[in-house]
Amino acid sequence: MLLVDISRDFQSAINQARNALLAGGVTAFPTETFYGLGVDIRNEAAIRRLFAIKKRSDNNPILILIPSIESLTQYVTNVPPVALRLIELFWPGGLTIVFEAKGIISPLLTAGTGNIGVRLSSHPVATTLAGAIGSAITGTSANISGEPPCQNAEEVRAFLGDKIDLILDGGKTIGGIGSTILDATTDPPRIIRQGLISAEQIKACIFNVE
């Protein structure tokens, strides 16, 4: 476990996590809501290991966290105008948007749907980690599927400590509810899961209601 103080330089911890990810490892890290589990999305073996650790069904997709808005088009085929408006308002932050995935995205992550959930996290550790490996990372919650997500590093260690390679301890996260998940492959977009960003906020953006 590595302590990460975002008020100070935490590059050393990021470098160790980067090395773990590039070697096919699984790293836990804080996000704006709960702790997440990250692997390099370019590594199919690491993705399979992640599913095994979480005991997650292969028909359940996993979202990705990107290092920047500019990198979005590396992973998705089309960004509709309404999605651009949502991105301007709510990224970085607690909105996961589902897009049509490019071929570089593993079918494991899309659960064979051809669509991928994407978020730019507002937590500096999550975003810096993705930037450090030069690729998106997975952003699934740090838990066994069906169990409550973890709000701190000690919970992660208690549930998953012997199964993962590294935990970045950034303190307690706010918890509560996860990100809102919005499907932008439909017109109009459809809310799949209510979360940090309310339906009213999204509707106001989509329909230009003040």
Q: What is the mean pLDDT of residues 18-47?
A: 97
**Residue 35 in domain:** yes
Residue 139 in any domain: the answer is yes
Contact criterion met (CB below 8 Å) for 44 and 141: no
Does the residue 93 lie in any domain? no
Phi/psi for 38 (5° steps) reads: -115, 140
Indicate whether 209 pLDDT > 60: no
In this structure, is residue 207 part of a structural domain?
no
- Per the domain annotation, does 89 fall within a domain? no
Residue 132 DSSP SS3: helix
The percent of residues in the chain predicted with pLDDT above 90, rounded, is 88
Q: Domain span at residue 25?
A: 2-77+106-176
- Which CATH number do you get for residue 7? 3.90.870.10
Is residue 122, in this structure, part of any structural domain at all? yes
Q: Assess if residue 181 is contained within a domain.
A: no
Domain membership of residue 145 (yes or no) is yes
pTM for this one? 0.94
Residues 94-150 have pLDDT tens digits of 999 999 999 999 999 999 999 999 999 999 999 999 999 999 999 999 999 999 999
Average pLDDT of span 180-195 = 94
> Rounded CA gap, 91 and 62, in Å?
19
> What is the total count of domains within the chain?
1
* Residue 22 pLDDT greater than 50, yes or no: yes
